[in-house]
Amino acid sequence: MKATDYIYLTSIFLSTFLVSCSPKVVKETKPVTVEKSEPIEEASGPCTTLSQLPPDEKDDAETAYVLYRDFYKAKDYTKALPLWQKAYTLAPAANGRIKYQFDDGVGIYKELFNTSEDPVEKKSYVTKIMEIYDKRAECTGDEGYSAGRKAFDYYYYFKDYIGEEELFQLFKKAVDMKGEQSDYFVINPFTSILFDRVLKEKISHSEGRTYANTIFSAIKYGLANCKKDCGSWNIVNDYAPARLENLEGIEGFYDCTYYSNKYYAMYQANPQDCEIINKTYSRLLYGGCEPTNAYVIELKNAKQTNCYTPPPQEGPLRRGYNAYSEGRYKEAVTSFEEYISNASDNEKKAKYTLLIAKIYYGDLKNFSLSRKKALEAASYRSNWGEPYILIGKLYASSGPLCGPGRGWDSQIVTWPAIDKFKYAKKVDPSVAAEANNWINTYTQYMPSREDVFIRNLKAGSSYTVGCWINETTTIRTAD
């Protein structure tokens, strides 16, 4: 095959994620490359193509393209680099259509970065990688894609070379430019950063809500229009919505439309289920839906028709239930705590303290306070497994909070979760069936033997899981 044929018939584009298993969480959304054929006709653009070169330079560039690719595929990056530099310098746009030369250049400099121990040299490689992305944007016109790739690489590989604010702005640029058509590999890291900045009040609720809605729209669009990257979008859909759901704990963050779209569909699918009716009704009011809203009226009627229970006598308990029913969760907690402080019956103290723990878990999304209240509930009643079941669920739900995605940090939360499920059935045989169900569910999501081995760890050894959990547990594997 002639050099020109080789150049014109080869191209690489971004495709899929590397996938591993864990509950409702996602791994580093890593773009990889796949070859496909390209038409021989050259496209016009702002960057020099092979056909625009003088004959002697054109021959040199074509030869350099072919040779560097051979070395690159053989992973001989030292030999590939000068040839890539020559081809890229002479004709950065190649035939005007292929784009793999940009990805290859990034790949070469990443490998050099990984093998270098010289801080100055490493920084120069990062600078070169970002320059390649800038050139890619210039040559292809897809500035949003290149901004996303830069942000992605800084987030996962080069975090020490960019400030937190600058990184956030780079992700914002990518999302602003592409909107609902944002690239899949941007969504998860941007979601993680956005979540943290909202919680730390580094951005307004209005700005956070705007970008959360853009993320939801991008996921919807990606799932509806994906082709070869559908698996990637499914993984994104497992992680980003679960992470952003935790922002429901901030009153007023999401509006009536958000809660209507999410919860009314649940009610429609289960129109006789009182738990869902009550939850949907309270969520709509919590989200700011007016009493005159058609959904609110429908849910109120469903409550009165199917789910009426006689209210407690006047007092803090009744105020607590009323506040909860109307989506005023913090007021409900305050009223229940008032009731507990005046109660003399430890059984009642236990019951309503656990109820507060469940509100912090399911409604206010404050996991640390939920655990605190669950332990307090257990202190009022001996040999009671339910509080520990709740704590286990808190831990198991923390994959998106404690890790960037699928993989180690998100999987190890299953260890302390299973510890709590085992303890629950040990102290209270009446919850054994439920505890065993949760144990069986989450055992499959523990790290693999290989994951443990490559970290120089050993199954059976002790290990402290950090994040908000911060508990010492035992290393176990799923296989």
The pLDDT tens digits of the residues spanning 167-177 come to: 999 999 999 99
DSSP string, 234-262: HHHHHHHHHHHHGGGGSTTSS-HHHHIII
pLDDT at 5 over 70: no
Mean pLDDT to the nearest integer, 287-291: 94
**Count of beta carbons in the 10 Å neighbourhood of residue 329:** 21
Pairing of strands 11-14, 33-36: antiparallel
Residue carrying the six token digits 């909107």: 179
Confidence of residue 259 (pLDDT cuts 50, 70, 90): very high
Mean pLDDT to the nearest integer, 389-400: 93
Confidence of residue 405 (pLDDT cuts 50, 70, 90): low
- The encoded tokens of residue 91 equal 């004709």
**pTM beyond cutoff 0.85:** no
The domain 310-382 having CATH identifier 1.10.3470: the answer here is no
Helix or strand run (H / E) with residue 463: strand 462-465
How far is Cα of residue 66 from the mean position of the Cα atoms in its chain? Answer: 39
Residue 404's pLDDT is 57
Residue 19's pLDDT is 29
In whole angstroms, what is the distance from residue 347 CA to residue 345 CA?
5
Looking at residue 370, its amino acid is S
Mean pLDDT to the nearest integer, 455-466: 94
In the beta sheet, which residues pair with residue 473? 463
Residue 98's pLDDT is 87
Mean pLDDT to the nearest integer, 150-160: 95
Cβ atoms of 215 and 240 closer than 8 Å: yes
pLDDT at 40 over 80: no
Using alpha carbons only, how large is the chain's radius of gyration in Å? 28
Residue 26's pLDDT is 38
Mean pLDDT to the nearest integer, 140-167: 95
Confidence of residue 13 (pLDDT cuts 50, 70, 90): very low
SS3 state at 12: strand
Phi, psi values for residue 141, rounded to 5°: 85, 0
In the beta sheet, which residues pair with residue 463? 473
In whole angstroms, what is the distance from residue 391 CA to residue 375 CA?
8
Q: Nearest to residue 293, comparing CAs of 321, 325, 255, 266?
A: 255
In whole angstroms, what is the distance from residue 175 CA to residue 29 CA?
15
Mean pLDDT to the nearest integer, 51-78: 93
In whole angstroms, what is the distance from residue 383 CA to residue 376 CA?
13
In the beta sheet, which residues pair with residue 35? 12
Whole-number average pLDDT of the chain: 89
Residue 477's pLDDT is 94
SS3 state at 88: helix
- The encoded tokens of residue 38 equal 């390209």
CA distance to 8, 51, 66, 80, 84, per residue, from 5 (Å): 5, 13, 10, 20, 18
Ranges of each domain in the chain: 3-141, 255-301, 310-382, 384-479
The pLDDT tens digits of the residues spanning 266-283 come to: 999 999 999 999 999 999
SS (HEC) of 162-213: CCHHHHHHHHHHHHHHHHHHCCHHHHHHHHHHHHHHHHCCCCCHHHHHHHHH
SS3 state at 76: coil
Cβ atoms of 253 and 271 closer than 8 Å: no
Residue 309's pLDDT is 85
Q: Nearest to residue 99, comparing CAs of 113, 108, 88, 85?
A: 88
The pLDDT tens digits of the residues spanning 177-220 come to: 999 999 999 999 999 999 999 999 999 999 999 999 999 999 99
